[in-house]
Amino acid sequence: MRRTTMPDLLFLSNGHGEDLNASLIVKAIQTVNPQLAIAAQPIVGAGHAYRKLGVPIIGPTESMPSGGLLYMNPWVLVRDLAQGLVLLSLRQIAAIWRLRQQFKLVVAVGDVVPIALASLTGRPFVAFLVSTSSYYEGRLRLPWLTQRLLRSPRCRQIFCRDAFTAADLQSRGFAKAIFCGYPIMDALQGQGAELVLDPQCPLIALLAGSRLPEAIANLKLQLRLCQELAKWGDFAFAAAIVPAIDATQLQAIAMDLGWQFDGRDRLLTSVGDRRLEVHCRSDAFAEILQASQLVIGMAGTAVEQAVGLGKPVVQLIGAGPQFTYRFAEAQERLLGTDSVQTIGKTPAQPADLTQAAQVILQTLQDPTQPERCRQNGQARVGSPGGSAAIAGQIFSVLRQGSIDDR
């Protein structure tokens, strides 16, 4: 680790969404002071979000079958254990412990796991509660250990993902709880990708998730819904897919569904006398989301971003392991029924697709929907700028004289 005249930071995070939020904060910090030494330890996954920024990873990383979503399906813990979860965790803890004295401040992004590891270092830390919100149940239910760690003098700041959660925690004596914004809304700057779509047709975005093979199964389900919608009218469809769903995968999807693939980025079929085409792009997430009038969502963070943009979302239930009814129902509570509607309680069947199509038509025809979604998105997710605001608070913590070891 290189040394600088500024204090060093260690970021700890435990999930895809957590890594994304943390990396956006890191990017904001680097913009203000590119010389500040920053390192990271992702607890879940390979830490690609950090690596893209050139942030060194201090310990081992590995993608586990659960993707860190053990609370959604405890049975996958068995698969994680078989793949070496215990040894991986011990090696990560050892790496954090070995280098703990190098860091002036630790930034824990996620739940009790990174917060506990931050406390274990003996260094001052700040916590960003990305994975929980008072919107779930009207009151934040933090585990006893999390509460104890957040009340520790070593915890210098508690960042919340929404203002409602910050107010809830403050009312219960967590004076250090604040809301500065939600960094994921800063990840929606377009890259200049051009969408060649019919401007006369409402654009419906498809968000199938990021984990394979589940994302492929989700996309197939969404394509069947597109066929159902095409019976009712003319729509433009664009799927924001991950790069892992490449031309070979798209060709296989087309063959499985009886569609055609144009060899580039379009899946094609016919519904009666209508020609149905779905554009599949891995380089135009922001452009697709911003241009859409409605989102068919089977994802986590991407759906949150859609809601933040004021887009109505219709959720289908998949076979999992991530996007099950339990996940979708919790996400609906988190993001609000003004923005999110979930169809069914079991993996979607033809009747569910028909119901989803009817809900989509009603939503698009509701003149009050855009404003309700806009207001709800502002309250539940917020506007861009959270990364810089949190970075500014971290700098403030570092500037509070010498950070001691209280």
pLDDT in tens, 2-14: 444 444 899 999 8
Query: Within the chain, how many helices (H) and strands (E) appear?
Result: 15, 14
Where the chain has pLDDT below 70, the residues are 1-7, 63-85, 401-406
pLDDT for 63 equals 64
Q: Which residue do the tokens 């199509």 mark?
A: 357
pTM summary value:
0.89
Q: Which architecture, in CATH terms, is 203-381?
A: 3-Layer(aba) Sandwich (3.40)
Would you say the CATH fold of 203-381 matches that of 9-183+384-400? yes
d(CA 181, CA 390): 8
Query: What is the per-residue burial (b if ≥16 Cβ within 10 Å, else e) of 305-324?
Result: bbbbbbbbbbbbbbebbbbb
pLDDT for 90 equals 82
pLDDT for 188 equals 93
Which of 123, 284, 297 lies closest to 207 in space, CA to CA?
297
Which CATH class name applies to 9-183+384-400?
Answer: alpha beta
Peptide bond into 213 cis (omega under 30): yes
Domain ranges of the chain: 9-183+384-400, 203-381
pLDDT for 75 equals 56
190's CB contacts (< 8 A; 6+ apart) are 284, 286, 287, 290
d(CA 41, CA 22): 11
Strands 38-42 and 105-109: unpaired
